[in-house]
A and B are shown apart, each in its own frame.
Chain A
Amino acid sequence: MALLEVNNLSISFGGLRAVDNFNIQIEKGELYGLIGPNGAGKTTVFNLLTGVYKPNEGIIRLDGEDITRKSTIEINHAGIARTFQNIRLFKNMPVIDNVKVGLAERYKYSALEGMLHIGKYKKVEKEMDDEAMRLLKVFDLDGERDYLASNLPYGKQRKLEIARAMATGPKLLLLDEPAAGMNPNETKELMDTIALVRREFDMTILLIEHDMKLVSGICEKLTVLNFGRVLCQGETREVLSNPEVITAYLGE
């Protein structure tokens, strides 16, 4: 059974069918790419998967569980974490606290214990600190643990966003244009980071990207969207040599 199974997903905004009959199957451990021209509906698919929009039709299953009409929060708890096209960090909080917000669902103590710093507070906070530092080390952010998130350089902000998403303990990680605004060196580093996430956490990843070097470099399978419809789906190499894809998106 596939980890993520999406059938006949559709949504309309007014008269515009932004996503029309979208299907995708992602197996556990795969690195899957979602590409297509601007306005094709890629981010809308992400927003449907994470419950920001509710679909008009279709069904989304994660690990066999129907998550179609759940809220963003429930979907996150069910195991989908995401990053955003325009970075959305908790800017006025230290780097480590950004990650600890993500950890909060797995490391719990009561509100009263938190307000009075009694009971399990010390022990659980220590465990959270350790786990957060472990994550930050993986992303090479441990040196900046007390920096405010807004003071990090761009590339590191991207990494922190991925670290925060990983902190929620997801089964599936959605990356929305992780290489947007990056220079070739930073993109190269990002590719290493994504490879690292897969290796370290055995993570299944679905990513939206325009940088074809990144897509052809790391994605195993691709889905091409055009005007809200699936144009082509399959192994990266085959998809990228498909004449339809070349006309619609890549150009001659």
Chain B
Amino acid sequence: MNKITKNNLITYGIVIAAYIILEALMLTGNLSSHLKGLLVPMTYYAVIAVALNLCVGILGELSIGHCGFMCIGAFSSAFFSKAMENTLPTVPRFIIAFIIGIGVAALFGFLIGIPVLRLKGDYLAIVTLAFGEIIKNVINSFYIGIDSKGMHFTMKSAMDLEMEADGNVIVNGAMGITGTPHNANFTIGIVVLLISLFVVQNLINSRDGRAIMAIRDNYIAAEATGVNVTGYKMMAFTISAAIAGAAGVLFSHNITTLTASSQYFGYNASIMILVYVVLGGIGNIRGSVIAACVLYLLPELLRGLNTYRMLIYSIILIVMMIVNWSPGIIAWREKTFGKSGLLGLFGRKKEVA
């Protein structure tokens, strides 16, 4: 028990230390404005990596559409913030935006989970993949506006909203939502990351978390041991979707024009997050946070190298894979640094537990 608490505290410590260092660099003017702009994205990618690791590593179900939940969280919260921009003061509005983004994403996670989690095998991967694409395309055809008469909705065009002169188009089809208030900053991103880490790490060490991992390890035995397999799968998947929704709220409140584009919410973006999870270690929450931060920043920091950028990036991916998963290196690492040594930061949870 003590070892687990210590392990969790190390994770929080790493995040807080990184925050203090970056914040100090920022205040002393040692951070370029380009790098400053990367800090919030870094936090929401870390948050969604934690969410996906709960689904892939702890529940053991492959989801390759997690960006879809992020997309839902982003749009539902941005819609709320934009609509209430002049009605509510910033702090309560942003808090409610979080609740809405998380809630709507969780609701969708629950709805998708109902048909899919009763199945076994690769079905979840296929359906989540489709879900991510569908949600992106559906949102792209939404037109929603508000005027003195109330809310207007159509799927044709902004003109078809037929609004009064004082009307305000909030969601404008493929042009998305423009001018969402910039409420997210690095500090809030870190707080959200810490909260999601707290929830997920605590969950893992509770009776529900053990039931979820039991299903992952052997669902037949889990059933025979009295574990409500479908119920716990739903629970884990919904929580995972909710956390992805929180990442979406950060996303939408940090960007001027929010569009449901492939670049942010498409298949490739979901795979990129899966890469963070796999390289950080499946089932290792701390690893996915570190991997998400490092792998998000690297391509940006390597921009100076122009043509060689992607070459170096892919070499780093391969090296990380080898360091993390090769049995020979794992043995060497444990011998040299001990089980929780420096490189053990990346170590798979399986080896530590």
Contacts and interface: CB of A to CB of B under 8 A. Distances in A.
A105 B221 contact: no
A115 B213 contact: no
Contacts of B202: 114-117
Contacts of B218: 88-91
Contacts of B228: 73
Interface residues of A, number: 43
A239 B225 CA distance: 33
A128 B224 contact: no
Interface string A89-113: 1111110011011101101110101
A215 to B, nearest CB: 23
A232 to B, nearest CB: 29
Candidate in B198, B213, B225 with the most chain A CB atoms within 10 angstroms: B225
Interface string B209-244: 111011011101111111111000001000100000
A105 B334 CA distance: 37
A72 interface: yes
Candidate in A81, A88, A90 with the most chain B CB atoms within 10 angstroms: A90
B91 interface: no
Contacts of A109: 206-207
A81 B207 contact: no
A250 B176 CA distance: 77
Contact of B223 (A73, A89, A90): A73
B214 A90 contact: yes
Interface string B1-15: 101000000000000
Contact of A104 (B203, B205, B210, B229): B210
A69 interface: no
Given A77-B226, A111-B235, A89 B221 contact: yes
Contacts of B165: none
A165 B224 CA distance: 8
Interface in A100-141: 100-102, 104-105, 107-109, 111, 113-117, 121, 124-125, 128-129
A125 B168 CA distance: 54
Given A50-B224, A92-B350, A100 B199 contact: no
Contact of B353 (A72, A89, A94, A102): A94
Contacts of A101: 210-211, 214, 222, 225, 227
A191 interface: no
Contacts of B23: none
Candidate in B203, B206, B208, B218 with the most chain A CB atoms within 10 angstroms: B206
A171 interface: no
Contact of B350 (A105, A148, A164): A148
Contacts of A50: 224
Contacts of B235: 111
B213 A107 contact: no
A146 B351 CA distance: 12
Contacts of A97: 210, 213
Given A81-B225, A88-B218, A115-B199, 7 more contacts: A50-B224, A84-B221, A97-B213, A101-B211, A115-B203, A148-B350, A148-B353
